[in-house]
Amino acid sequence: MAYLELRGLKKNFSDVVALEQLDLAVGAGEFLTLLGPSGCGKTTALRIVAGFEHPDAGTVVLEDRDITHLSASRRNMGMVFQAYSLFPNMTAEENVMFGLRLRKVPQDEQKRRVGRLFDLIGLARARTRYPHQLSGGQQQRVALARALAIEPRVLLLDEPLSALDARVRVQLREEIRRIQTNLGITALYVTHDQEEALSISDRIAVMSAGRIEQLGTASEIYGSPATPFVAEFVGTMNRLTGEVVDGGESIVDCRGLQLRVTAVQGLPRRQRVLVLVRPESVEVTALGDGEAPAGTLVGQVTSHSFLGAITRIKIAAESGADLAADVQSARAGAFPIGVRVACRFAAESPSVLKLDDA
Amino acid sequence: MRGSRLGSWLAMLLGVLYFFIPLLATFEFSLRYFRGVYSVEAYRIVLADPQFGATVTYSIVLALATIVMGIALVVPTAYWIQLRLPGLRPVVEFITLLPLVIPAIVLVFGYLRIYNSSSILPLTGTERTTDVLLMASYVTLALPYVYRSVDTALRAIDVRTLTQAAQSLGAGWSTILFRVILPNVRVGVLSGAFLTFAIVIGEFTMASLLDRPAFGPYLQLIGANRAYEPSALAIISFALTWACMGLIQVFGRGAAGQAAGAR
């Protein structure tokens, strides 16, 4: 049964639709991420859960209790903000104690909890420092400890890593996940960074234009995008438009080229489809002036992007489509810019979207 | 490069002379009570005058009441405008500037018409209620300075995020205002407070027309009837005002370290 439920949430800001229709159920102890581009409504949804915004329609239900109209200060939800939010007039320790003092938690218990949290975030030595004496990453760690100190019913995180540099971001997101798992707390996380979402979430809700486009685990979202938007937004995706030639034999015609795609099996003939293939599923072979094997896309290498262990090469296919393919960086030299290559992928690799549904 | 540096020094020297020569002249004149010798007789006479102590005390008490009232009015207003009603900022700024545009004498005649002893709210009916009216008029006079000081301090912190962070931890509005916002705008509040103090200590028009025994009318009375004592009083007023400015610096420096983290 769902621990936190958002039922039919709608929210407009003047003429702008922030949430068109949002239904979401979060399980107890789950780490769920709202992922989407700026303006998709993810932060509005989080702020409604926190009690900072009120929905125009719909309800927020926590443990079977409607909390839609409960004030933010009475919801007992810890929140970590995108902007640095520590109280500048208090030390790190005083910041973490703030919520405990308001709740009149006994002194001994306050000390015990604060000590444990500072150990958990690895900042035991920085307890007496003021926020301006801490780095951005340290401030967000303290903000996390402050949110956790009150033992919140839900931990809300609104792009808490976006102001940090890349290295600290990766380190801190792992810490957030570790702490959340250790404490078994329910967490709702908002980000526009797909890598962040994919790496730490139990489930991800990909949002666009105030709606959830797809809800699923990281591998479901990455491997089987439900809509063209998800396919475009999460990771790099090659998109080939085609028409089913033979649903039984899984044959698709993409601009005159017949490709075998298992996912079209059973689809009616002439059904227009979008074939989606990840760059890592595309196999590239140098052709030179030779003939291309049947069922391969032929094109010319136009650029290289070094990504560490792999290099992403862009190929302008002769059929008119552009393709991206990942090759081992050690092998990238075999495909210099301008060389003619043949690209193929296993029939099982692509996912397919019926274009009428899109 | 050297030319521009020389120019800066010259400009600074001219500024210093512009401010200090009249002050030094006043100070020097205040010491000439006895012909041919310098003495502090004028200061002795002023400080020995029971009216001096009474009027200074009255003005100080009124200044403190004005500060409390002004801060109680301005801090929540400026905070709420920053947090919830940013669209109203130009309107409030305009209103707070009005006391600079409307002369004090016009304001006080307005008060006398509205609050005279035969009106619905006869604040001028007793001395105590007239004191309250005078304090309210001082709050109005100090409004442009207090509002700007507090508003500038509020703009230096992320009011919205701090408020929401406190709310999410369970804080109510009074806790947020007194334990989160006020300590972080302390420098602005102090600046506003001391500017208010400086204004109230020397104010003449309102106190005189409302017939209250404040330091401003006392200064005018001495100035109209004595020769050397007014200069001594002017120096004492300067000392009082500068002491206030010094206090702003002292308290401001203490709070600056903490405020730095607000950004």
Do strands A203-208 and A31-35 pair parallel, antiparallel, or not at all (unpaired)? parallel
Give pLDDT tens digits for A209-220. Answer: 999 999 999 999
Asked whether the beta carbons of B67 and B193 are under 8 A apart, the reply is: yes
Question: What is the Cα–Cα distance from B236 to A336, expressed in whole angstroms?
Answer: 86
Contacts of A172 (CB under 8 A, 6+ apart): A137, A140, A141, A160, A161, A164
A204-233 mean pLDDT = 91
Q: How much is the pTM?
A: 0.81
Contacts of B221 (CB under 8 A, 6+ apart): none
Angle at A202 between CA A200 and CA A203, to 5 degrees: 110
Q: How confident is the model at residue A224 (pLDDT cuts 50, 70, 90)?
A: confident
Q: How confident is the model at residue B261 (pLDDT cuts 50, 70, 90)?
A: very low
| Pure H helices in chain B | 2-30, 41-48, 50-83, 89-101, 104-115, 127-155, 159-168, 173-175, 182-184, 186-202, 205-209, 215-225, 229-260
What value does the mean pLDDT of chain A take?
90
Whether residue B165 and residue A133 make contact (CB cut-off 8 A), yes or no, is no
What distance in Å separates residue A81's CA from the closest CA in chain B?
7
Q: How confident is the model at residue B226 (pLDDT cuts 50, 70, 90)?
A: confident
* Chain B residues near residue A50 by CB distance under 8 angstroms: 164, 168
pLDDT of residue A46: 96
In a mutagenesis test of the B interface, which of A89, A95, A96, A134 is the best target, namely the one with the most B β-carbons within 10 Å?
Answer: A89
Whether residue A84 and residue B158 make contact (CB cut-off 8 A), yes or no, is yes
A259 pLDDT more than 90: no
DSSP letter at B176?
I
Element (H, E) at A239: strand A238-246
Q: How confident is the model at residue A83 (pLDDT cuts 50, 70, 90)?
A: confident
Question: What is the Cα–Cα distance from A13 to A344, expressed in whole angstroms?
Answer: 48
Residue where the block lists tokens 């601009």: A255
pLDDT of residue B1: 55
pLDDT of residue A358: 43
Query: Hey, which residues does B205 pair with through a beta bridge?
Result: none
Question: What is the Cα–Cα distance from A176 to B212, expressed in whole angstroms?
Answer: 65
Question: What is the Cα–Cα distance from B31 to B109, expressed in whole angstroms?
Answer: 39
pLDDT of residue B263: 38
Residue A73: closest C-alpha in chain B? B170
Q: How confident is the model at residue B260 (pLDDT cuts 50, 70, 90)?
A: very low
What distance in Å separates residue A99's CA from the closest CA in chain B?
5
SS3 A163: coil
